[in-house]
Amino acid sequence: MFSGWPAIEASDREPVDAVFWWLVRLRWVAVLGVALVLGLAGPVLHALPSDSGPWLWTTAGGLLAYNALLALLGPRRGWPWLTRFTGQIAIDCVALATLIHFGGGVDNPFLPLFVLHVVNANIVLSRRAALGVLGFACALASAVVLAEGTGVLAHHCLRPAGVLCAGGALDARTLGTLGGLVLTLVAASLFTRFLTVRLRTGQRKLSDALVALTVEKQRLADTHAAIDTERARLQAIIDCMGDAVIFMDPDGQALFANQRARELWRTEASSSRVEPFDTMLQEFAKTGTASAFERRGRLFEATRSAVLNAQGQTLGLVIVVRDVTDRLTIERYLMREEQLSVVGRLAATVAHEINNPIGVVSLYSQHALSKLPPDSPVYQHLQTIRRSAERCRAIVGGLLKLARQPHPERRQVDLHQVCREVVDEIRPLAAHAGVQASSGSQAGDSPAWVQADPDMLHQAVLNLAVNAIEASDGGTDITVGVCENDSGSVLAHAIEVRDTGPGIATDDIARIFQPFFTTKTTGTGLGLSVADNIVKSHGGRIEVESIMGAGTIFRIVLSEEPPSVSTHDPADRRSSVLAGEVRA
């Protein structure tokens, strides 16, 4: 890591700067230690030779000035030979050799301090540079000891009296001290290099591990962000559902509720607090009973489903609560329409069978009354008979008036608007039957104006759509839309009700508009008959196309009428009996 310091890139300057200031601080400690030793050994203990004192203080001062210069220049300025680590350690070794020479030579107890510089070299330098420092340190130590022993350099004893002054000759002690120092330097270099290599290998592994952990941390952060995004998306989807969704744990405690559920069970006193789910819903979660209930004036239907993990263990229960008020209203409305149709048929039959005899009874009673005096007892009986006959005629007339279709009140109607309103009304019924209901037009989005009674036309389309839902299986589609029908030389608008159900048999198509004819297990068979009567009252017709197993198309064909100035707003919405029931 620290090899080749002069060639280190700018991106790697931080460890270089750290090592530089570490050496500078370490040198400040060394300078302070030298100053303390010289101060104690000279003026206090008088152990320094008189002729070596100036040299020692000069060396210490030079080392102080050099370190101050390094501290002033910093690691990125100055001369390379002055600030590079190899130069610093070499200068420190020269200063140590000078201090040892003038401080007693081989007798100086600080002679092993060369080990410190060798250790520093193996820590901060490359292997080749560290070996160079080792050789340089060994050479300096050997030069001091051998030069003093051979008389090339003067030997400065530690004490003026010559006590402990044994470094003036190359005896066995001197050579042994020198040999021990060299072996110590070599051993310290090898051991430090071994530890440094191990530490740097561990440092590289740690650095790689940190990089891997950083990458993994970023990956986990990205994954967590993606999970949060997906969770927020799913939460938004569930909150946008019109049905209330509640998740309960196996103990029956509600752990999750979407926006619709929170609104449904929100207290009126505090709009921010949600009521505990009532006993009925908890009982339904445990037993599955009481799936329909009423709350705040609306009717709801609840379904439940167990949530299982990959091992098949039950994690909880999902309860879906659906508002079925509109669906039940539509069902009641259609049932009422069928009942009215039955009443109409019954009234027509009664009128045909009873009106004539009642007329005869009334006529003859009036004729008899004209022949009798008012005070005759028979006269009173005949009056009772006449009144009863008139009452019967009034009852039959009332039934006929109730069952008879009113005359269409024509005004401008946009068929697209009629189709959209019908789809909006049948969606709850279609969803309950597992059928997808939608509006789609093949005649563009421009208004398709016709002159018709909007309420009666709406009822006809609604009857066809409901009939398609009841005849379809779950998973099928129903489309209500506007198309153009080419009827000879006249281009007419038509309303199509398409389904992908089982279809109608060819033999039954000719009979489906007959009253009381039905292929379903339930129903009266009056819906298509009522729709056919309404369309015919407008001068139109209903066309049927069906393929067994592929679906059926009911097409209401109405002549196109150009728009004209009218006191009625074309965007007026109908005020149907169904809307009245919902408001009620």
Which of 300, 380, 392 minimizes the C-alpha distance to 354?
392
- 216, burial (CB in 10 Å: exposed 0-12, middle 13-18, buried 19+): exposed
Q: Residue 306 in contact with residue 317, Cβ under 8 Å?
A: yes
> In this predicted structure, what is the pLDDT of residue 580?
30
Per-residue model confidence as pLDDT tens digits over 395-419: 666 555 445 655 788 888 888 889 9
Which distant-in-sequence residues (6+ apart) come within 8 Å of 489 by Cβ?
none
pLDDT category, 217, cuts 50, 70, 90? very high
Cα 3 versus chain centre, distance = 51
Which secondary-structure segment (H or E) carries 383? helix 377-403
Pairing mode, strands 477-487 and 436-439: parallel
Q: Residue 255 in contact with residue 318, Cβ under 8 Å?
A: no
Per-residue model confidence as pLDDT tens digits over 365-393: 888 888 888 888 788 888 888 877 876 77
Per-residue model confidence as pLDDT tens digits over 30-67: 888 788 887 777 777 777 777 777 888 888 888 888 88
Widest pairwise Cα distance in the chain:
184
Q: Residue 430 in contact with residue 387, Cβ under 8 Å?
A: no
Cα separation, 415 vs 432, in Å, equals: 26
Q: Give the SS3 label for residue 555.
A: strand
The mean-pLDDT minimum among 7-16, 134-143, 574-583 falls in 574-583
CB atoms inside a 10 Å sphere around CB 236: 11
Cα separation, 86 vs 308, in Å, equals: 70
Per-residue model confidence as pLDDT tens digits over 240-284: 888 888 888 877 777 788 888 878 776 444 444 445 556 666 667
Which of 128, 130, 31 minimizes the C-alpha distance to 90?
130
Q: What does the angle CA 518 – CA 523 – CA 524 come to, to the nearest 5 degrees? A: 70
Cα separation, 107 vs 158, in Å, equals: 8
- pTM comes to 0.39
Cα separation, 414 vs 418, in Å, equals: 7
Q: What does the angle CA 447 – CA 451 – CA 453 come to, to the nearest 5 degrees? A: 110
Cα separation, 405 vs 403, in Å, equals: 6
Cα separation, 104 vs 83, in Å, equals: 30
Q: What percent of the chain has pLDDT over 90?
A: 5
Which secondary-structure segment (H or E) carries 349? helix 325-371
Cα separation, 405 vs 188, in Å, equals: 117
Q: State the chain's mean pLDDT as an integer.
A: 76
